Amino acid sequence: MKTRIGWASFVMLVMAVLILVGSARLRAADQPAGAEVKIDNFSFGPQTVTVPVGATVTWTNRDDIPHTVVSTDGVFKSKVRDTDEKFSYTFTKAGTYPYFCSVHPKMTGKVVVQ
Amino acid sequence: MTDKKNGFIGEKLQNLNKDGIDRRGFLECMAWVGTGLVWTVSGGIPVSRAFAAGHDRSVTKGGELSFVQISDSHMGFNKPANPDVAATLQAAVDKINGLAMPPEFLLHTGDISHLSKPEQFDNVDQILKGAKAKDVFFVPGEHDVLDDDGKSYRERYAKNSQGDGWYSFDKKGVHFIGLVNVMNLKAGGLGTLGGEQLEWMEKDVKHLKSSTPIVVFAHIPLWSVYPEWGWGTQDSEQALSYLKKFGSVTVLNGHIHQIMQKVEGNVTFHSAMSTAFPQPAPGKADSPGPMKVPAEQLRSVLGISDVNYVQGQHSLAVVDSTLG
């Protein structure tokens, strides 16, 4: 009895691991590597990021002052991001996406999706 | 150090007077000063003075109007540059209430809040209720119109205004114009007034006599202080063109958290300090972010600024000294 439960548990564990690994692989295949943009000293760094279609770009505000991430062409628009707050956007179409901080419009950047 | 600083500024001003308006000269001509300014309009000549200074009644003798400008209270900011912006705003109000000649009203030139949150506006309103002067006239800073295009700002501070929150009013013969230059900012650009506001302003001043003293107030400077940091307004020239006929024009702003002054013909531009934290001199840091000073020095970088502008003489006199 004990052995049977133990065996069943082991099989279930192995299956669970296989499923997790498989889905992780699937996710990795579906979602290309994203990119990180840091906001420091009133600038986006790197100012231009190039990512594949389907990638998610994440911006992190590391300034003492709030900023926003707003697409110049109206494609995406973050809420105001205070210190250490993040904003992410997933790019599903190839193209060039210029953006800026609507609070400090001198701050500009670009996402190139290939 | 203070003497040296005053000497430096005095020297710069003398150069200004000698040489006329010189960009490098006025950029250097600045100091961290005070938490508010008292403006007195005396016979059409605006005179600014520090509120910690003994109020010299002779200057306002015969004057009809006295008011205080405060700016950039940034309620909600809690970083090392000033972890208690409520306390320093309260200190500003205490200063105002201690003036020998009480101001008739206050002007707040924006960045009332840090993040446009209702509780931040509430906090400022509560502290300003402690001022003996009951009327406060506001214009928004970019921190007051985040996320909702300024809707909550206008409901609270600009109910009887036009457009995005601009308006004018008259006090004892002086015409005041509150402008909004923090809305609809475009990528890569500066502060913006916009066509609708400019049109309104042109009509607003058209009927006024050229002898009427004009005070314009807005958040972002209406002169090109340092475009690299966005310290200017791209269509301000247009606005100023409507004011050419007036003998006395005073343009007040905040945003840059430091005193700066420029005189150009009949127009005096003056930028006020913040009640929250100082910002670096143009180009003197990696960014215009809050300038950190040791806590015990925070109030000692605040100070006083007496400014005299004599209409038609193209001369200005500023005396700066620290408060603490």
Alpha-carbon torsion angle B42, B43, B48, B52, nearest 10: -10
Residues 6+ apart with CB under 8 A from A108: A44, A47, A98, A99, A100, A101, B187, B188
Sign (positive/negative) of CA torsion B285, B290, B293, B299?
A: positive
Query: Under an 8 A CB cutoff, do A105 and B186 touch?
Result: yes
| B188 contact residues in A (CB cutoff 8 A) | 100, 105-106, 108
pLDDT at B261: 83
User: Which pTM value belongs to this model?
Assistant: 0.80
pLDDT at A59: 98
Residues 6+ apart with CB under 8 A from B289: A41, A42, A63, A64, A65, B279, B280
For B134-166, write each residue's pLDDT tens digit. 899 999 999 999 989 999 999 999 998 999 999
What is the CB-side half-sphere exposure of residue A37 using CA atoms within 13 A? 29
Calpha distance B88→B252 (Å, rounded) = 21
User: In angstroms, what CA-CA distances link B84 with A19, A45, B70, B108?
Assistant: 52, 31, 17, 19
Instruction: Report the residue of A65, A84, A97, A100 to disrupt the B interface, i.e. the one with the largest count of B CBs within 10 Å.
Output: A65
Residue B133 lies in domain: 2-322
Calpha distance A111→A76 (Å, rounded) = 12
pLDDT at B43: 52
Query: Under an 8 A CB cutoff, do A80 and B147 touch?
Result: yes
Confidence band for B123, pLDDT divided at 50, 70 and 90? very high
Answer yes or no: are the C-beta atoms of B184 and B147 closer than 8 Å. no
Query: Under an 8 A CB cutoff, do A80 and B146 touch?
Result: yes
Query: Under an 8 A CB cutoff, do B188 and A105 touch?
Result: yes
Answer yes or no: are the C-beta atoms of B255 and B111 closer than 8 Å. yes
Confidence band for B31, pLDDT divided at 50, 70 and 90? very low
Calpha distance B161→B163 (Å, rounded) = 7
For B224-256, write each residue's pLDDT tens digit. 999 999 999 999 999 999 999 998 888 999 999
Neighbours of B202 (CB within 10 A): 14
**Chain A closest-CA separation from residue B176 CA (Å):** 26
Average pLDDT, chain B: 78
Instruction: Report the residue of A103, A107, A110 to disrupt the B interface, i.e. the one with the largest count of B CBs within 10 Å.
Output: A103
Q: Which of A10-14, A61-65, B144-148 has the lowest mean pLDDT?
A: A10-14
Torsion angles phi and psi, residue B319, rounded to 5: -120, 115
CATH label of the domain that carries residue B54: 3.60.21.10
Query: Under an 8 A CB cutoff, do A105 and B189 touch?
Result: yes
Confidence band for B67, pLDDT divided at 50, 70 and 90? confident
Query: Under an 8 A CB cutoff, do B230 and A105 touch?
Result: yes
Angle, alpha carbons B58-B61-B67 (nearest 5°): 100
| B146 contact residues in A (CB cutoff 8 A) | 66, 68, 80, 103
Neighbours of B209 (CB within 10 A): 10
Which of B119, B115, B163, B122 is closest to B139 using CA atoms?
Answer: B163
Calpha distance B77→B192 (Å, rounded) = 25
For B77-120, write each residue's pLDDT tens digit. 999 989 999 998 898 888 888 877 778 888 899 999 999 999 99
**Chain B closest-CA separation from residue A42 CA (Å):** 6
Tokens 């009949």, residue? B266
Number of domains chain B contains: 1
Query: Under an 8 A CB cutoff, do B289 and A42 touch?
Result: yes
Calpha distance B95→B51 (Å, rounded) = 6
Mean pLDDT over residues B197-211, rounded?
96
* Residue of chain B nearest A39, judged by CA positions: B287
What is the CB-side half-sphere exposure of residue A11 using CA atoms within 13 A? 6
| A84 contact residues in B (CB cutoff 8 A) | none
For chain B, which residues lie within 8 Å of any Cβ of chain A, measuring from their own Cβ? 77, 79, 81, 114-116, 142-143, 146-147, 185-190, 228-230, 286-290
Query: Under an 8 A CB cutoff, do B146 and A42 touch?
Result: no
Calpha distance A96→B204 (Å, rounded) = 43
Superfamily of domain A35-113: Cupredoxins -  blue copper proteins (2.60.40.420)
Q: Chain A, 59-98: which have a CB under 8 Å from a chain B CB? A: 63-66, 68, 72, 79-80, 82-83, 98
And the tokens for A55?
A: 């990638």
Using the predicted structure, report yes or no on whether residue B130 has a pLDDT greater than 80.
yes
Please give the order of strands across the beta sheet that includes A108-113.
Answer: A48-51, A108-113, A95-100, A70-71
| A72 or B303: which leads in pLDDT | A72
| B187 contact residues in A (CB cutoff 8 A) | 72, 98-100, 105, 108
Sign (positive/negative) of CA torsion B278, B275, B13, B265?
A: positive
Mean pLDDT over residues B295-311, rounded?
52
Angle, alpha carbons B10-B15-B19 (nearest 5°): 155
What is the CB-side half-sphere exposure of residue B298 using CA atoms within 13 A? 19
pLDDT at B48: 60
* Residue of chain A nearest B232, judged by CA positions: A106
Calpha distance B194→B234 (Å, rounded) = 9
**Chain A closest-CA separation from residue B8 CA (Å):** 30
